[in-house]
Structure 1
């Protein structure tokens, strides 16, 4: 898996250090997820996205406070990255997110921005082929509320109220997050992102600077051209392969290893180095496809069949483990 800058995790460590109930040191959390303390002290350090996600989940568990990750996101300082400078030099918010779609790969190639909704009422979604929302819910909240905070910082005064959409079945948790962020937080969604106020894309940015923007864009293109052409990690290849077999019969780990020209033992070892395993990736692919099928016209029994479950009951048990809701409740919430 492509490694990402450790600046987000470094920020989370600083916020964690100010927690009054932090009985477990953040160094122990890092050790538990396979990141060394030295990596965070290095300004140029890069880590795996999976390990960043696991660290945020572990921090919430250590504090016994599921809101910590969101609070860390809301405490995000102004970033000092190429994309952050481009955002400040942009003409409007719409231009910011179009730049984000293209240049965020310089910071984190495993996450992307998807624009949903209409131009008048756009929703900015965070998605990943490596991290599914059901795997690391606290980490996605860290990213989404960080996105909310950075958008506020870029837009400045007068932008209007934004709202947050999460794949979260816990209404009490969403209410606590809403109070913390002082905005509406809606759960039971199929996306994780921020909804902008009406006409948000057209909102003008006070720091717009055409000359600086052109200079930064030229630098950005040079950096993009320097990136390896094949940045896809093994986890992404496994997910893509599993998805290609669905709906239908799931491939076994041995079959996937053979198709990727390696032994099952090598596949297991390499996935472990990326902080994951074959079973988790298969569940990720199944869960994502299940959500899409459930909002369609297929019956729950048909979805279970298409995802290679023995019966509807087995699918319902698995789906509730992944999302916290039964397929019927999930479908009703989307209707």
Structure 2
């Protein structure tokens, strides 16, 4: 589990040093102000993704690598910082369609639990259903709209619509939009080893680029420009396209993990600290390390500071851990194909007996009794 970017070294100081040493400028003040006001985050392994691009393309880009290194311990990157990084890369590399090229290096594994769910889906229709529901766990603050008619699926992004005025006339807007559309294309087509042309039409904001043919070759379909908002069209016949079927149990566990994260999402929780804490608790349980020292370390806090923050909210660590375990336990118990021993393991208990004892303390029922009530 990585830390939130806000706990790392001051990014503004890093950008100032890069500007002084290499002469590259940051985004303009108006765009900076607009992006600063957006509660939008990228919840992917940005460091591995962009480093993969630079290394595979054998691009030196020392200034960009300096900034990128400060994303190494973060899986929660504000959109402002993503745009700053893209702006720096665009200046340093100076290649057309740089957003497409970076997007082509996004692997499902960099998308965390959502990426794993895509890998375990049965067909393309299931992938898009999962993406529509859980997309904001990868791109927090974004929503992906999916519209279906008799022949096609149309996908668009609501935030980019809202940002169209902000990005108007700015090259970085094209880079950002290209990255978003190319990333989805890369993840989805990668599920089929890039054997199929997934899109039938792509519409992009901004003027036609110098080499529009490159865009058509990349997406393997017609591409239009000067659109009001980016959108992609997929033939409805593609939804039944089979993926190598993953483990049903993996699919179940990943889905439940996503549901747990959705239930703790900041859209539903005003307190950002508690959201981060509960998110880390999920990872701590997964890593079989549900103790206060481990969680404090991941929050970049001392044990005493973590306890103080909890006390300010009239909470204790053990109370929050119990609530998280109980919520997950009830979710797991709804699925009869998950044995008690595995549920105990998923909740980081030493054995089934310890799990049963705790569950009875929480609810007055044993897990077996609770599961029987669900069947009635």
TM-score (norm 2): 0.52
Number of the residue aligned with 1:78: 108
Who is 1:177 aligned against? 215
> Shift of residue 166 of structure 1?
0.9
- Offset at 1:72? 1.0
Quote the residue 1:92 is aligned against. 123
1:143-200, Cα deviation, whole Å (9 max, x unpaired): 2111111111124476445243211321534323223444432222233233223412
Aligned with 2:191 (options 135, 154, 167): 154
Structure 1: gaps spanning 5 or more residues: 31-36, 234-335
Given the superposition, is the C-alpha separation of residues 66 and 9 from structure 1 closer, same or farther in structure 2, using an over 3 Å criterion?
Answer: farther
Q: Tell whether the 8 Å contact from 1:69 to 1:142 is kept in structure 2 after alignment.
A: yes
Report if the CA contact (8 A) 2:108-2:187 is conserved.
Answer: yes
The secondary structure found in structure 2 opposite 1:55 is: helix
Q: Distance in 1 between matches of 2:56 and 2:221?
A: 24
- Within a 5 Å distance, the mapping from 1:5-44 to structure 2 comes to 5=43, 7-8=45-46, 10-17=48-55, 25-27=63-65, 30=67, 37-42=68-73, 44=74
Distance 1:232 1:95 in 2: 32
Higher RCO (C-alpha under 8 Å, 6+ residues apart): 1
Number of residue pairs aligned between Structure 1 and Structure 2: 225
- For residues 127 and 173 of structure 1, the distance between their equivalents in structure 2, rounded to whole angstroms, comes to 27
Q: CA offset at residue 55 of structure 1?
A: 1.6
Q: 1:130 to 1:197 in 2, by over 3 A?
A: closer
Structure-2 change in CA distance of 1:170 and 1:99 (3 Å): same
CA contact (8 A) 1:169 1:188 kept: yes
**What's the RMSD between the two structures over aligned residues?**
3.1
What secondary structure is seen at the aligned counterpart in 1 of 2:175? helix
- Between 137-146 and 219-228, the greater mean CA deviation after superposition: 219-228
Cα drift, residue 129 of structure 1: 6.5
Q: How has the CA–CA distance of structure 1 residues 92 and 179 changed in structure 2, closer, same or farther, with 3 Å as cutoff?
A: closer
Indicate the residue corresponding to 2:81 in structure 1.
51
- Picking from 136, 144, 155, the partner of 1:113 is 144
Q: CA deviation at 1:141?
A: 0.5
Instruction: Give the alignment partner of residue 139 of structure 1, picking from 158, 176, 189.
Output: 176
Contact 2:202–2:231, Cα closer than 8 Å, also in 1: yes
Report the CA distance between 1:102 and its aligned residue: 1.6
Counterpart contact for 2:124–2:243, Cα < 8 Å: yes
The equivalent residue for 2:203 is 165
Q: Given that residues 64 and 92 in structure 2 are in contact (C-alpha distance below 8 angstroms), is that contact kept between their aligned partners in structure 1?
A: no
For 1:160 and 1:76, how far apart are their aligned partners in 2? Answer: 17
- TM-score normalised by the chain length of structure 1: 0.58
- Structure number with bigger Rg: 2
User: In the superposition, relative to structure 1, how do residues 19 and 87 fare at CA in structure 2: closer, same or farther (>3 Å)?
Assistant: closer
Matched, 1:204 2:205: no
Shift of 1:217: 1.7
